[in-house]
Homo-oligomer: A and B are copies of this chain.
């Protein structure tokens, strides 16, 4: 299997970008990627572009991929939009890997979402209908409600304390203090999380990620081309992807995401590394319970055992397995289609020792975990430096 290198990754700040459209915002992410490295990138060698996006937006609602590559000065290049709800750009990244292994010299994988401009799109509507529509939505179950059910069951089965959920938010806000691209750069206390207005019991306001505008991008090249650009790229070691029943009532358990387990299993097999070799991870914490599920399902902790580790600080920057050093969806922000490649940006920054104050010492292998819906779609990617 051909090797795939990631030679740059960048993003816009996640947050509110009043009045900006898809073209300009995506361009900003590409410019940030180009500026993230000290070598020149021959972007005109791009053969394929994959753009993760849930509800389009800005102005171009259908066929946006062509418009975006045109604006990048890459008119003519093969491009498409990839949609898998909040896992859209995780899949865009996966399909870009396929393209490189298939013979492309260079591919761009990115994601974009504009959620805060209510005049221009349907993003919030579409977000609402990315869980199961036939059973869950018609019964009034929103994503916060569905994840609240998972949280309640997890607490019931494993005695998971409410504080362990809250600690994920506290830790992610702390991490985001050092991420200039994060939406919330503001510490929050455990008390504040516990006393916040309730959204869906037991999940309060600070257990839920925000709505965000933003774009993110990763530039992938073949083993042949990378030699002309840099001696020391980041490598894609493994890619895994899976689906699951959309409606959670169809699943055997609601205290795990089976798609995460399957995608992780594929990614680890392909990467030929084991869980103990992972130095840090970006996981899909759309709600705090989702971070607990993720770190268990990925295999960092046994099912039901993550809570105490989280409370002991083992997922903090100084812990056994730093999780969401970027701030995660909770504090970095969650512009749906941009989240998957946004995680790749953090892996790239950590692996190239460019994460500034949030840098983990000796980070050589990282993992990114992106989820769509309430676990219906999932990708896991493992990337490494000097390996």
A353 an interface residue at 8 Å Cβ cutoff?
A: no
Evaluate contact between B98 and A66: CB separation under 8 angstroms: no
A83 to chain B, nearest CB (A): 4
- Which residues of B have CB within 8 Å of A91? 80
Question: Which residues of A in the span 63-105 have a Cβ within 8 Å of any Cβ on B?
Answer: 63, 65-67, 69-70, 75-85, 88, 91, 94-95, 97-99, 101-103
Please list the residues of chain A having a beta carbon within 8 angstroms of any beta carbon in chain B. 1, 48, 54-55, 59-63, 65-67, 69-70, 75-85, 88, 91, 94-95, 97-99, 101-103, 122, 125-127, 129-134, 241-246, 250, 258-259, 262-263, 372-373, 376-377
Bound Cα distance from A377 to B231, whole angstroms: 35
A87 to chain B, nearest CB (A): 8
Q: Of B101, B126, B258, which contacts A102 at CB under 8 A? A: B101
Evaluate contact between A246 and B376: CB separation under 8 angstroms: no
Number of copies: 2
The answer to whether residues A61 and B243 also contact, given A67-B376, A76-B259, A80-B95 and a CB cut-off of 8 A, is no
The answer to whether residues A243 and B78 also contact, given A1-B103, A60-B133, A95-B95 and a CB cut-off of 8 A, is yes
Residue of B nearest to A92 (CB): B80
The answer to whether residues A75 and B127 also contact, given A80-B95, A376-B63 and a CB cut-off of 8 A, is no
- Which residues of B have CB within 8 Å of A62? 54-55, 83, 85, 126-127, 129-130, 373
- Which residues of B have CB within 8 Å of A127? 62
The answer to whether residues A81 and B82 also contact, given A60-B129, A61-B129, A63-B372 and a CB cut-off of 8 A, is yes
**By CB atoms of chain B within 10 A, which of A54, A67, A242, A373 has the most?**
A67
Q: Of B59, B65, B122, which contacts A243 at CB under 8 A? A: B65
Bound Cα distance from A85 to B377, whole angstroms: 22
**By CB atoms of chain B within 10 A, which of A59, A78, A122, A372 has the most?**
A78
Residue of B nearest to A82 (CB): B80
Q: Of B1, B67, B377, which contacts A79 at CB under 8 A? A: B377
Evaluate contact between A126 and B61: CB separation under 8 angstroms: yes
